[in-house]
């Protein structure tokens, strides 16, 4: 029975709330497969403050799987001064230690995949996201790792991820586009046994009218032609200001040039009905498609739907 690891993520967040709400909604047989990487005392005290009654047990290894109705904690051993307001230095150490432990378990094939709850990027070195952090851990050098936001209706993926807008254009390279599209195409064929219909957006408004010096003309169009010659079902560049009105329904995946170009309209359409998948690593990594929601801490208003969908996806497709 392959095991699933869930990293509790940023201690200053809604994560303890969505963990509790999700745990209450999944069945006992699935609970047997799930282990949390967290700090036992931290989570226990946060549950207590929220007035959540839940059975927990601190374990030392993944072989302690017999407690089907208890939330099993692989303990990250840290002493927190204040479990309800963890300072950035402690939170950063906790998050990095948690990710490193999960990475080690995944690399050694002890688990079928990683789910991490929301993490503030400022807690990771150089303000990178979890996608980039784990890609570095996996020694991915060719920029083939992919951030894919997915539900049963649509997937979107940005070529560039967590970088400032002023740096986007210089990061759009033919090889980066080729590697990421091939990663997505191969993943769909392997997991869903289908060749996905892929749309690629241009970078500029109205595709810069396809002027000779535009990124569309110099980089994106030649790269799409190259990918077509490799047998990939791909179309573009498509202007980004209209595709999410209705035409998105024609495609399995829409690839944008930058983060908010595809994530903002996707979230406007589907809200919490999505998961964030990292492709191209040496293992599967998934996370809920939302942030730490600092403004909702303690209010019991957090929506657990995305975490539940992460758990169901890994349970259904990854054995």
Query: Could you tell me if 264 and 318 lie in one domain?
Result: no
Instruction: Determine the Cα–Cα distance for residues 114 and 285; give it in Å rounded to an integer.
Output: 5
Query: Could you tell me if 235 and 149 lie in one domain?
Result: yes
Query: Could you tell me if 157 and 234 lie in one domain?
Result: yes
Query: Could you tell me if 133 and 6 lie in one domain?
Result: yes
Query: Could you tell me if 11 and 128 lie in one domain?
Result: yes
Question: Which CATH number do you get for residue 122?
Answer: 3.40.718.10
Query: Could you tell me if 102 and 205 lie in one domain?
Result: no
Query: How many distinct structural domains can be found in the chain?
Result: 2
Is the bond preceding residue 25 a cis peptide, omega within 30 degrees?
Answer: no
Which pLDDT score, from 0 to 100, does residue 317 have?
A: 73
pLDDT of the chain, 319 residues: tens digit per residue: 678 999 999 999 999 999 999 999 998 888 888 999 999 999 999 999 999 999 999 988 887 766 567 899 999 988 888 877 888 899 999 999 999 999 999 999 888 889 999 999 889 877 688 888 898 898 887 667 899 999 999 999 999 988 899 999 999 999 999 999 999 999 999 999 999 999 999 999 998 788 988 999 999 999 999 999 999 999 999 999 999 999 999 999 999 999 999 999 999 999 889 999 999 898 999 999 888 988 888 889 999 999 999 999 988 876 6
Which pLDDT score, from 0 to 100, does residue 66 have?
A: 64
Instruction: Determine the Cα–Cα distance for residues 269 and 1; give it in Å rounded to an integer.
Output: 36
Query: Could you tell me if 318 and 305 lie in one domain?
Result: yes
Instruction: Determine the Cα–Cα distance for residues 148 and 164; give it in Å rounded to an integer.
Output: 19
Which pLDDT score, from 0 to 100, does residue 68 have?
A: 66
Query: Could you tell me if 183 and 64 lie in one domain?
Result: no
Query: Could you tell me if 253 and 233 lie in one domain?
Result: yes
Query: Could you tell me if 179 and 217 lie in one domain?
Result: yes
- In order, the DSSP letters of the chain are --EEEEE---SSSSHHHHHHHHHHHS-HHHHTTEEEEE-HHHHHHHHHHTT----EEEESSTT----TTSEEEEE-----S-TTS--HHHHHHHHHHHHHHHHHHHHTTSEEEEEE----GGGSGGG--HHHHHHHHTT--SS--EEEEE-SS-EEEESS-SS-GGGHHHH--HHHHHHHHHHHHHHHHHHHSS---EEEE-SSGGGGGG-TTSHIIIIIHHHHHHHHHTT--EEEEE-TTTTTTTGGGG-SEEEESSHHHHHHHHHHHHTT--EEEEESSSS-EEEESS---GGGTTSS----HHHHHHHHHHHHH--
Rounded to two decimals, the pTM is: 0.88
Domain extent at residue 2: 1-140+281-319
Query: Could you tell me if 124 and 68 lie in one domain?
Result: yes
Query: Could you tell me if 114 and 156 lie in one domain?
Result: no
């Amino acid at each position: 029975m392959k095991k699933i690891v869930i990293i509790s993520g940023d201690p200053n967040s809604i994560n303890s709330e969505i963990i509790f709400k999700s745990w209450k909604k999944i069945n006992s047989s699935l609970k047997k497969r799930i282990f949390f990487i967290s700090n036992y005392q931290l989570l226990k005290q946060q549950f207590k403050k929220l007035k959540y009654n839940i059975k927990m047990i601190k374990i030392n290894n993944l072989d302690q799987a017999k407690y089907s109705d208890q939330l099993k904690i692989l303990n990250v051993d840290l002493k927190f001064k204040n479990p309800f307001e963890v300072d950035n230095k402690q939170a950063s150490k906790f998050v990095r230690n948690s990710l490193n432990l999960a990475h080690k378990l995944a690399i050694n094939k002890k688990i079928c995949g990683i789910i991490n709850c929301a993490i503030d990027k400022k807690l990771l070195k150089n303000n990178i996201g979890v996608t980039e952090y784990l890609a570095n851990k996996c020694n991915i050098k060719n920029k083939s790792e992919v951030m894919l936001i997915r539900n049963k209706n649509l997937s979107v993926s940005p070529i560039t991820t967590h970088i400032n807008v002023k740096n986007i254009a210089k990061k759009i390279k033919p090889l980066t586009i080729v590697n990421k599209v091939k990663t997505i195409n191969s993943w769909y064929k392997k997991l869903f046994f289908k060749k996905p219909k892929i749309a690629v957006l241009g970078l500029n408004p109205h595709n810069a009218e396809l002027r000779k010096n535009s990124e569309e003309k110099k980089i994106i169009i030649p790269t799409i032609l190259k990918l077509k010659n490799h047998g990939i079902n791909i179309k573009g560049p498509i202007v980004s200001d209209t595709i999410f009105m209705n035409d998105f329904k024609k495609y399995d995946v829409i690839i944008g040039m930058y983060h908010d170009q595809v994530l903002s309209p996707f979230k406007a359409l589907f809200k919490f009905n999505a998961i964030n998948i990292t492709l191209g690593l040496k293992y599967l990594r998934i996370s809920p498609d939302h942030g730490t929601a600092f403004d909702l801490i303690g209010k019991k208003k957090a929506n657990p739907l995305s975490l539940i969908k992460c758990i169901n996806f890994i349970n259904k497709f990854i054995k």
